[in-house]
Structure 1
Amino acid sequence: MPSVSHPKKPGKLLRLLAEKYPTKESVMSRLIYLQGQLVLPKGVEHFMSDLHGEYAAFQHILNNCSGVIREKVDYVFGARMPPEEKAEFCTLLYYPKEKIEQVTKARRATPAWYRENIARCLELARLMSWKYPASKLPALIPERLRSVIVELLATRPDADAAQLAYQQRLLASIVQADAGAEFLEAFAAFVKRLAVAQFHFVGDFFDRGSRPDAILDRVMALPDVDIEWGNHDVLWMGAALGSRACIASVVRNCLRYDNTDVLERGYGISLRALVTFAQHLYPDKAPIQAAEKAITIMLFKEEGRLIERNPDLQMESRRLLHHIDFRGACAVLPQENKRYELRKAYFPTIDENTDDPYQLTEEEDAILHDLCISFTESPALHRHVDFLYRKGSLYLTCNGNLLFHGCVPMNVDGTFREVTYGGKTYAGRRWLDFCDQMARAAYLHREPAALDFLYFLWCGRLSPLSGREVKTFERTFLEDRTTWEEPADPYYRLLDDEETCENVLKEFGLAPKRGHIINGHVPVKVKKGETPVKAHGRAIVIDGGFCKAYHSKTGISGFTLLSNSRGLRLLAHQKIADVRTALAENGDIESVSETVELVSIHTTVGDTDQGREMQEEITDLYNLLLAYQNGVLKPQG
């Protein structure tokens, strides 16, 4: 029994609790329910990072829950089903609507086929549901068929002949009512809900891949989600809120990766005016290339003015337009005082004689103005950005783990780097907390300094979401590739050091010997021998390069991480089947599983953050029960 107090007078908390539980019986019922939940196995946590718009890969991993469903099918049906049947059944669970259409077209969707597969779904769901309290199950079942599925789950065909006959009659009635397809789809959705209790997305939905909007639509429909913002996410958040520098960067990225459909079709943002303007400036270039050149100059102009008005951001090394020698076709980098040859010396929107190369032309200003209106008024984009703010944060501590996308800025000796902004100095967790506050100020108040800060979070050297010296100017204009190198924060190198990781965990109030840092942002180059597991398991980098552009560098198709009652398991996905392959060949994810940590005693709900909250509620309820028993409060019934 938890420690309880013996109040002579009921406090405000007890009085409020008494309104919710006005009788002794209601208090006891709640206590019994909570105490029982504490001993259930901890639910599966599923971690993903750096999806970068790769919807096809995301869809398949989400549908098979990183192999959880396939494992459960193997466990339940074992040798009772041959491998090819299990593969087809898994595909039915992943893509029920499409698979049913395929089977129907092949004339295999007989009443017996429906009865058999619904019975399999029922058997699988029954086993997977044992980790959940019965009261929670109905909420996990699609509402339209909830009552019948709950009834099916309650049947016990192994108990006696009557129960077997009852279950068989229910299954036969479903097929006779021509509802087999609906029930299979509902069961597939139910099984996926049972497979994963909590989803963690450790940053970067946007850019490179073409369908971040579709990914976010799916994520918004998931039951229990948290998001740790990535630098690409805050860039789009800033664009949606009206930061012109963020808007120019978003448009440039979309043009550079040839995925303008997400702007035009996904979010209703037209680039027609920009393309028309660019084609006049660069008539020898293809429309997309011309538009990229035009928006790049606008970006450097907007960025330069942003940096000038925000010296605390310490981004002066990125303000380089005024260091171009237009007549000499070179640039003098201020850090080195050295001249570098330009790749191209054609700058049609910059007056070579001006003292202010950051001044927008009238046409550039008008284009950015119209783009700003389109971004800030896009309903679809704002639905997604509202969700990112509602479910997201710069970092999260959850069940002993620390989740964030980029880094905690450090010095080379492993101490936390001090950053001064607005006359105050921050370091470690305080700096990340301040960055989170500034991001929210941009959303809540549209403060100009906070909007500028979102751009800093996207690409600033001291940004915990970036942590590297971005060399966009050099990569765009300079021939000498040695200028393209982008120095990274010492954190990324020190992540291999166990003492450093333990210090980070302690900084965020976590147990240094038991907790883990779960990180994204930097693709792990597996093909070069890099490992995602750092510092003897204290840190795990789960950016395995979902983006197709990185597959040749990483050698894999992405990482996912699973945490269940038995420990942590990392999956390196070698090949991810698309929908067509899954349907045509019953193909699945080819993955290599690595156990990061195995616990000797299964973790229960009581060992989680949720369990600790339950324990606090249990203590309060015991105090309320004591108040009722001692007459300090009078029960209502």
Structure 2
Amino acid sequence: MTEQSRDELIAEIVNLEAILNLPKGTEHFVSDLHGEFEAFDHILRNGSGSIKEKVRMIFAKELSDDEIASLCFLIYYPEEKLIRLKQKQLLTFDFSKRTIQQLLDLVRFCSCKYTRSKVRKALPKNYAYILEELIYPYDQNADKQDYYEQIIDKIISLREAEVFITSLCYLIQRLVIDHLHVIGDIYDRGPEPDKIMDKLIAYHSVDIQFGNHDIIWLGAFCGSKACLANVLRICARYGNLDLLEESYGINLTGLRKFSRKYYKDNLQFQPKKNPYRHLTEEEKIDSMLIQQAITIIQQKLEGQIILRRPDFAMTDRLLLDKIDGNSLILDSTAYSLVNSCFQTVDPHSPFSLSEEEDALISELMSQFQHSERLAKHMSFLMKKGSLYHVYNQNLLIHGCIPLNTDGSFQKVSFKGQSYSGKKLLDYFDHAITAAFTNRFRQVEELTDIIWYLWCGEGSSLFGKKAMKTFERYFCSESELHVEEKNAYYYLREQKETCMKLLEEFDINPVIGCIINGHTPIKLKKGETPIKAEGKMLVIDGGFSKSYQKVTGIGGYTLIYNSYGMHLAAHKPFTEKNSAIANNDDIVSSRQIIDRRNNRIKVLDTSIGARLKLEAYQLQQYLSKMADTTLIQKQE
């Protein structure tokens, strides 16, 4: 090896060892976004309140509260705010210069715990050289002061102030969040999961844990017709059919015609009130009829899976064959059926699709699998997603690890092989990957497992004994609607249970904790997101407007920086333009969960473990190289 390569090796070892002693980057955790793009986008733009916190730290003595709010919203929404300033003729030379200097102060403050190399990679290419000069003015009080002043003055005189300010604002947003964790449920209920996916694809550092509502979209894309039926039904139920048609290019004309041919107005199938836009009467009728048509198709397709997969142990969910006239016969008890729409069900073969139904669902499946935008989103979901993730001694999981009532791991058997705990989740993860790889072959053995993840008793995503879709639509008895939760959901209140779960995933239970989504925390009823003495953090606080009446807030964000963990509770996000006009932020409060006396360094993190190994391997190589050189000299 040459002297130059030896020098490069030494420089890299020094660099790695130095990085290990920097403070850890800030992690942000969000969960259960459910298509609420504007609220999610705002959380990323304001760093869950971190940007305002830093602005106050730097400018508390210089700026009033209103001025701090104005500067913050300029950072969050630079293009929109600059347009408003221009309209009011406030975008003057002095304003631009003062604002650029303030933003540079913030960039320096936000970037101080990163290497210059990492900051350089984050800089916008068109201003990278200029920004690097302005961010690191070590001698700004000496000979170079006029040099720095001239750079800023010239940017403004060349009418580049707006572009430069915008670049600085997005750089601040980028530096405040080092890594983002999405703990599941990007899809369903809200109107814009596609925009959330676009945002995540463009994001600098992110991982995703699959949610139950993500898995049916992924299952549908992999070829599960039962999952596709669920996707279609939920979109109709929440008045979001335009997501399929306009965002993903799925033509629903055939489904509309079929539903109008065989079904009729049924008031109990009206879509839920859409808080985002007013549905026309025609759209309401479409949603009503499509729900009926696709619900029956769903019940038939799910029945077929249950019959061909006895190992799923779900025969109690076969209900179409238990219809007798206007009654549902369960355990010799007759329950009156309401909202009946079983006209396409053949009593002699209740789980068989008609020729029209089969052709319809096959055509929709073809469209779903060949949508370019959906393929891009599902491919990214697979690339960044998994059922669970161990990161910095924390276990990130959307749903649950199935448990028995005595706290032991629930065993689930597939084709004679039993799985539980971590092995069960690894089995599911492997099946998802295999189904995605073979998606155009539509291998039922694989796609059936994805459907099971949506509604099976042993699913880590569902976490209940049975999904009562049929009963909720067709039975008025409330006792039939109850979905019994897995024991995990009350045992997770106990510290001992959480310690056991952490050990199952090879996490130090003294240091680590479990970060969960899936079940909305009902703050109004006194529930708390912090459980088991801080070993369990449940951060589904109600991003979805459907949940906010119950939760009382507009979502949680967990922030984990070098000083420890704290939880941000957000008030409901109203509307983007209104928020910008009124500088109306949505962070309501913060709660410290874990405050460290000594700052956490990179060497204490998952990334640090990789860097330490890399540094060790380089040092071993360097030693071998030195030994080889010594032998050669002796010879």
Q: Deviations over 1:336-363 (max 9, x none)?
A: 4322110133422123xx3211111122
Tell me by how many angstroms 1:632 deviates.
Answer: 5.8
Match of 1:94 among 72, 76, 82: 76
Contact 2:559 2:565 in 1 (8 A): yes
Q: Which amino acid aligns with 2:359?
A: A
Contact 1:300 1:321 in 2 (8 A): yes
Contact 2:573 2:586 in 1 (8 A): yes
Is 1:575 the counterpart of 2:572? The answer is: yes
Match of 1:460 among 433, 437, 456: 456
Deviates more, 1:214-223 or 1:441-450: 441-450
Match of 2:393 among 383, 387, 400: 400
Q: Which amino acid aligns with 1:126?
A: R
Contact 1:628 1:634 in 2 (8 A): no
Is 1:378 the counterpart of 2:360? The answer is: no
- Secondary structure of the residue aligned to 2:445 is helix
Deviates more, 1:208-217 or 1:271-280: 271-280
Contact 1:202 1:227 in 2 (8 A): yes
Tell me by how many angstroms 1:581 deviates.
Answer: 2.2
Residue 531 of structure 1 is matched in structure 2 by 528
Residue 602 of structure 1 is matched in structure 2 by 599
Match of 1:492 among 469, 474, 489: 489
Instruction: Work out the CA distance in 2 between the residues paired with 1:284 and 1:41.
Output: 61
Is 1:142 the counterpart of 2:139? The answer is: no
Is 1:269 the counterpart of 2:266? The answer is: no
Is 1:46 the counterpart of 2:28? The answer is: yes
Residue 175 of structure 1 is matched in structure 2 by 156
Q: Deviations over 1:435-456 (max 9, x none)?
A: 1001111001232211111111
Match of 1:422 among 415, 428, 433: 415
- Secondary structure of the residue aligned to 1:227 is strand
Is 1:31 the counterpart of 2:24? The answer is: no
Tell me by how many angstroms 1:164 deviates.
Answer: 2.0
Contact 1:627 1:633 in 2 (8 A): no
Instruction: Work out the CA distance in 2 between the residues paired with 1:250 and 1:175.
Output: 51
- Residues 307-456 of structure 1 mapped to structure 2, 5 A cutoff: 307-325=306-324, 327=325, 329-333=326-330, 336-351=331-346, 354-446=347-439, 447-456=443-452
Residue 256 of structure 1 is matched in structure 2 by 237
Instruction: Work out the CA distance in 2 between the residues paired with 1:594 and 1:578.
Output: 26
Contact 1:577 1:588 in 2 (8 A): no
Is 1:585 the counterpart of 2:566? The answer is: no
Deviates more, 1:607-616 or 1:400-409: 607-616
Q: Deviations over 1:563-596 (max 9, x none)?
A: 0111110111123353212321111113211111
Q: Which amino acid aligns with 2:416?
A: G
- Sort the Cα spacing of 1:410 and 1:456 in 2 relative to 1 into closer, same or farther, 3 A: same
Instruction: Work out the CA distance in 2 between the residues paired with 1:525 and 1:633.
Output: 69
Instruction: Work out the CA distance in 1 between the residues paired with 2:572 and 2:475.
Output: 37
Contact 2:265 2:288 in 1 (8 A): no
- Residues 61-80 of structure 1 mapped to structure 2, 5 A cutoff: 61-80=43-62
- Secondary structure of the residue aligned to 1:575 is coil
Match of 1:521 among 518, 523, 529: 518
- Secondary structure of the residue aligned to 2:592 is strand
- Tell me how many residue pairs correspond in the alignment: 610
Q: Which amino acid aligns with 2:461?
A: L
- Secondary structure of the residue aligned to 1:593 is strand
Structure 2, unpaired ranges of 5+ = 267-284
Residue 11 of structure 1 is matched in structure 2 by none
Contact 1:568 1:598 in 2 (8 A): yes
Residue 56 of structure 1 is matched in structure 2 by 38
- Secondary structure of the residue aligned to 1:563 is strand
- Sort the Cα spacing of 1:344 and 1:84 in 2 relative to 1 into closer, same or farther, 3 A: closer
Instruction: Work out the CA distance in 2 between the residues paired with 1:633 and 1:292.
Output: 79
- Sort the Cα spacing of 1:542 and 1:493 in 2 relative to 1 into closer, same or farther, 3 A: same
Q: Deviations over 1:132-162 (max 9, x none)?
A: 01111111112222221112112246432x3
Contact 2:48 2:587 in 1 (8 A): no
- Sort the Cα spacing of 1:342 and 1:82 in 2 relative to 1 into closer, same or farther, 3 A: same
Contact 2:184 2:517 in 1 (8 A): yes
- Secondary structure of the residue aligned to 2:289 is helix
- Secondary structure of the residue aligned to 1:80 is coil
TM-score norm. by structure 2 comes to 0.94
Instruction: Work out the CA distance in 1 between the residues paired with 2:631 and 2:458.
Output: 58
Instruction: Work out the CA distance in 1 between the residues paired with 2:119 and 2:339.
Output: 63
Higher relative contact order (CA 8 A, sep 6+): 1
Instruction: Work out the CA distance in 1 between the residues paired with 2:491 and 2:76.
Output: 40
Structure 1, unpaired ranges of 5+ = 1-17
Tell me by how many angstroms 1:193 deviates.
Answer: 1.1
Contact 2:49 2:587 in 1 (8 A): no
Q: Which amino acid aligns with 1:350?
A: V
Is 1:508 the counterpart of 2:501? The answer is: no
Q: Deviations over 1:54-92 (max 9, x none)?
A: 111111111101011111111111211111111111001
Is 1:202 the counterpart of 2:183? The answer is: yes
Match of 2:86 among 104, 108, 113: 104
- Sort the Cα spacing of 1:338 and 1:632 in 2 relative to 1 into closer, same or farther, 3 A: farther
- Secondary structure of the residue aligned to 1:631 is helix
Q: Which amino acid aligns with 1:431?
A: L
What percentage of residue pairs aligned between the two structures are identical?
39
Instruction: Work out the CA distance in 2 between the residues paired with 1:240 and 1:532.
Output: 33
- Secondary structure of the residue aligned to 1:596 is strand
Instruction: Work out the CA distance in 1 between the residues paired with 2:18 and 2:481.
Output: 59
Instruction: Work out the CA distance in 2 between the residues paired with 1:421 and 1:271.
Output: 36
Deviates more, 1:494-503 or 1:576-585: 576-585
Q: Which amino acid aligns with 1:341?
A: S
Q: Which amino acid aligns with 2:398?
A: H
Tell me by how many angstroms 1:422 deviates.
Answer: 1.8
Instruction: Work out the CA distance in 2 between the residues paired with 1:592 and 1:291.
Output: 42
Instruction: Work out the CA distance in 1 between the residues paired with 2:629 and 2:212.
Output: 54
- Sort the Cα spacing of 1:133 and 1:49 in 2 relative to 1 into closer, same or farther, 3 A: same
Q: Which amino acid aligns with 1:238?
A: G
Is 1:232 the counterpart of 2:217? The answer is: no
Deviates more, 1:604-613 or 1:337-346: 337-346
Instruction: Work out the CA distance in 2 between the residues paired with 1:142 and 1:482.
Output: 58
Instruction: Work out the CA distance in 2 between the residues paired with 1:55 and 1:451.
Output: 29
